[in-house]
Every structure is written in C-alpha cells, then in structure tokens.
Amino acid sequence: RKLSYRAARKELIANRDQVEASLMKLTSWWLAEIEEHMRSEKAKALLVMEENLLPFKTIPEVEEWRKVYTPEYYGKLTRFKFLVLVGDSLWGKTRFACNLWGVRFTFVAQCQGVSQPCLSGYDPRVYKAIVLDEPSRELVDACKVLLQAGVEGTELYQSPTQRFTRWVWVYQVPIIICTNEWVQW
C-alpha cells in the first residue's frame, strides 16, 4: 500500500515484463477495493436509513402471506407463494419489502432489463428474504421454480453449454417482487 493505483500502473508499464497480466491483476484489485468501499458506505447508509424511516402500515394480506415463513411450516410445504408489490415509482415498495424481514437481512436484486436475477451476492446465512426489483414478465415466467422457493432448488445462469450453471436452494425464503406494472394472468 505504499504506491497509489496510478503509481503502481506506471511502474508496471515501465517494467515491461508481463505488463498485460500484471495490469489485469492490478485493475482487478483496484475494482475490488472500490466495490468494497461502496458496499461499506451502503451499509452505513442503510443503518442510518433504518433509524430514520417512519413505521410502515400493517397490511393484513401481507401478514397472512408471511405466516408460512415460520418454522412450523418448514418441511410441511413443498413450495411457497411469492409476494408482488405494485405501485408507482417512489411509493416505497422496495423499502416496505425490505422492512418485512429487516433491511440488513433482505437481499435486493435489481432485475430491470435482465432475464434472470443475479444472486451472486446472496448468502442464506445472512439474508432471510429476497427482493426482486422491477423484474420483467419474461423473468417471472423463466424463473417460476426459483420464485416458488421449492424444496428441489433450481439452476440459474444456464447457458447452452451449462458451463456456468449455479444451483440455488431458497427453500422457504420469502421472495418479494416490487414493480411499477404487473400484468394479471
């Protein structure tokens, strides 16, 4: 840590030995350090936000939905219903969803414009619920097994070669969709 990123970059270029590989490693480190800084700042902001948010209203239908996510239903149900919160932008859908199990214990996946949610940061040892923010109808159709939080688990990130497939098990994990528009099927 005696050299800045820019100084280290200049030294690597001047060295002329394995410049491309060394620059790639340096850039990977630099980007990882920046991401870690941003995540740390996000955690601080979430703590402050959690203290400043007003209490949310209790919605009877949501409370009824939450009941099956208790230990007494573990192993008794094979699939679960997901919750859909619909409303205009800035109505607080995502904040409400995160509040249900706690902001720090809710994993939020931004799903706008993607065909599958990115769960690469999801850790079941930390997170108690998953929020999918602005998924498309195609994502919902393609990921029904995931959304039902079934006992079998599901494969994500499938490609034609199946090389990067990742098995995910979210059994009895509450999944909440927040969206501005929802098509009634």
DSSP single-letter state for residue 72: G
In sequence order, what are the beta bridge partners of 133? 110, 178
> Residue type for 118, please?
C
With contact defined as beta carbons under 8 Å apart, do 144 and 177 qualify?
A: no
Of residues 26 and 182, more confidence is placed in: 26
pLDDT in tens, 119-156: 988 999 999 999 999 998 888 988 889 999 999 988 88
pTM of the model: 0.80
Please give the average per-residue pLDDT across 66-77, as a whole number: 94
CA distance 83 to 62: 8
Does pLDDT of 184 surpass 70?
A: no
